[in-house]
Structure 1
Amino acid sequence: MNPPVFRFAPSPNGRLHLGHAYSALLNEKLAREAGGTLLLRIEDIDTTRCTETLVQHCIDDLAWLGIAFEPNPRRQSQHMDDYRAALAKLDAMGLLYPCTCTRSDLARLKDAPRDPDGQPLYDGHCRMHGQGTGPAALRLDVAKTGASAASIWGDVILARKDIGTSYHLSVVVDDALQGATHVVRGADMEQATSIHLLLQTLLGLPHPIYQHHDLIRHQTGRKLSKSAEDRSLADMRAEGATPQDVRKLLGF
């Protein structure tokens, strides 16, 4: 039997904070206890927000923590052909449709039910009435899949207009290609598992073992966030904290 494979997969669209450190350290601990390997994946499909500088900051912060990943981390931005191949397979099954709705078009959904991320569920306008003109995203026709669990997301976007893929599609393809057997991530991603399991089934990919850990939260109770400019690992380093301080603070 092959050893277990764990992965930590940050998006370098800001500096890493304690929440990222906790998830990375937990994956390190579980991989060590299971006699497995630990991979680093850089989820940088959004090349506008995920700059080379932030990628290097991410790698440096993790090295500072002393986490030993397998060499040669996968960079999503370098593997777009893999995601296009998965989209082509789903399209050949008749499960995708183009959507040209703009942000202003979607304003009509303000009173619609919400998905687990708090966004309005798409009403299927382009599926029912045909697409308009302009750039198109690709949505999954969830009803055609017969997957009731995934219906909480509606017709989720699998290829954004500006990128050509999406988080949901890319993470599923990557986990399979990298042989990830265990996916350990924050509780905020637990609801997304229904979409990921569905895509794995449709694409004939293996199902990893999923585990969702509690989040490290701000004193106000909200989860830590890059966008809120919460205290970063770099801030802590500048204030004199050591990797051992961070590990002790997080219970490792």
Structure 2
Amino acid sequence: MSSSFAERKSIILDLLMEEGSVGVSDLARKLNVTVVTARADLAALEEEGLLVRTHGGAVPAQHSKIRERMQAYKGIKGDIAKAAAAMIEDGDTIIVSAGTTTALIAKYLLGKKSIHIVTNNTLLLSYTRTNPQVRVTLVGGEFRPEEEGVVGPMALIALDQFHVSKAFIGIDGASVKQGFTAHFVESADLVRKMAEQADQVVVLSDSAKFGKPGFARILPFDAADALVTDHDLTKEFEKELAIADVRIIKS
């Protein structure tokens, strides 16, 4: 198979998401490399904080709920994140909220220059470690492994210090009545604060979340400037978003 570490890294992380663990011998066979190389790859990924080594193999560093979310609609999420990243210009300072789709934005920033990201998204860090053109300010607060994000009063206070050109926010659900929503009140409060600090608010979501509102309201539709989604958004929601003057970008 591939001899490039970057390619093997992607395969290993995919296997961990799909299977929940990998064994060294099985991994070496699948990658068509020696057991020594497979062990070295796992050691390197552990150094990056992407997995935890076990006796004879490795398990993911992320919470199981995060792994499930990363796997769901994987291709669609990548397309949405790529389309969102295309909206970022050289020299931009942006806010990125916690979420598996929003984290992928950083993956598609290669080639852009002098980008500064303010975020509570710890998952995003794995995509920025090797990009010298991306500067990250991580807000403080309580870390929640099931969200791979930081929340709480400290994070809200920290956000008061920033003004950014664009906020890229993730959601857990949406409905005509409630607008954009989250599962948890603390998450909704933080994302709403992020939106307040930005000149432009861009929502990232696959269409499957529409019609399935979460517990806590983040923003009404008309508080967003754009939605990046897939091609399966219903005509009903397209109409409601158009009324709210939200630009729809389909990836």
Return the TM-score normalized by structure 2. Answer: 0.32
Structure number with greater CO (CA < 8 Å, separation at least 6) is: 1
Return the TM-score normalized by structure 1. Answer: 0.32
